[in-house]
Amino acid sequence: RIAAHLNPPNFELRREECRAKGGAPGFKVAILGAAGGIGQSLALLMKMNPLVSVLHLYDVVNSPGVTADISHMDTTAVVRGFLGQPQLEAALTGMDLVVIPAGVPRKPGMTRDDLFNINAGIVRTLCEGVAKCCPNAVVNLISNPVNSTVPIAAEVFKKAGTYNPKRLLGVTTLDVTRANTFVGEVLGLDPKMVDVPVVGGHAGVTILPLLSQVKPPCSFTPEETEYLTKRIQDGGTEVVQAKAGAGSATLSMAYAAAKFADACLRGLKGDAGVVECAFVASEVTELPFFASKVRLGRAGAEEVYQLGPLNEYERIGLEKAKKELAESIQKGTNFIKK
């Protein structure tokens, strides 16, 4: 009798039944790359999210340990671990949201584009799994270079006949949390009170903070504008250098990813007025993908907002951003097409 009670599948079923009886909304979320620097902290934060009923942790190494550890947290979500390619399909089947931080991070002296050759292949394989096992899931893509991995994912989904542009979102939230933090410092405000739209892409000059649209309304001197823009664009490099070879942003990224995933889940639940910046299929510029504010709803990115009025400094920045973005998008698209 005791042995039967200790049978984990029975426990899991009971937990799910219990949750269903309580009428609590619950989404099934998978993290691919869950044993990594971002993945572990993100798994912790998603286990704490009351909107998550089932949390699948997939990696090619160490996912059983992370799963055992996280599963002892006394929060509602049922946690299951999956290890290696043969378990990818089981990890993905039935998921509502798939968050992908799998891949290698930057070392000092590397750009995000230097990661392309390794991460492009990883993202292709994982997205093929998504197309097969949970084609309607919302995908949050974190693996760099986001400016290229999102176009890669789009091509994989097109090939599989499952592409829904509203359900594929490149995660740029960390650029926004950095912008809110640095602008808060300059203005002497709690960053929670600050809202900086960051548009374009997620690498160097493609990261374009729109300081003329900061809320609460304020103005910056040309020196402040230059300092803030550069610091926001180089925020990732600041962390890479400080970590001195041990990787790139993981803790702030996990926070940002959890914030963005929560916004996606609130959208899926039907909450009104959920707006975040993300790198998505877009008609805001002539480029096929662009980061701007999007409204998240039951369908995913239901509305992509225009950029609004830009000042001269931002218009120049936009032209630079578009030039580099066009190349990165093309590189991603070619990776699958050729």
- Report the nearest approach of ligand NAI to the CB of residue 171 (Å): 5
**Residues forming the site for ligand NAI (CB under 6 A):** 32-33, 35-39, 59-61, 101-106, 115, 119, 122, 125-126, 142-144, 146, 171, 174, 202, 247-250, 253
Single out the catalytic residue among 5, 56, 72, 202. Answer: 202
Tell me whether residue 59 or residue 155 sits nearer to ligand NAI (CB atom): 59
> What are the tokens at 225?
């504008």
Tell me whether residue 101 or residue 151 sits nearer to ligand NAI (CB atom): 101
CB-based contact 103:144 (threshold 8 Å): yes
Nearest to 149 by CA among 33, 318, 48, 64: 33
Preceding omega of 309 cis (within 30 degrees of 0)? no
d(CA 86, CA 91): 10
CB-based contact 21:233 (threshold 8 Å): no
Give the count of beta carbons closer than 10 Å to the beta carbon of residue 92: 24
Annotated binding-site ranges:
33-39, 59, 106, 112, 119, 142-144, 178, 253
Active site residue 202: yes
Q: What torsion do the CA atoms of 95, 63, 261, 170 make, to the nearest 10 degrees?
A: -90
- Report the nearest approach of ligand NAI to the CB of residue 237 (Å): 11
Tell me whether residue 70 or residue 253 sits nearer to ligand NAI (CB atom): 253
- Report the nearest approach of ligand NAI to the CB of residue 16 (Å): 25
CB-based contact 42:62 (threshold 8 Å): no
Tell me whether residue 125 or residue 330 sits nearer to ligand NAI (CB atom): 125
Question: Phi then psi for 108, rounded to 5 degrees?
Answer: -55, 140
Residue nearest to ligand NAI as judged by C-beta position: 36
Question: Phi then psi for 290, rounded to 5 degrees?
Answer: -165, 145
- Report the nearest approach of ligand NAI to the CB of residue 311 (Å): 26
List active site positions. 202
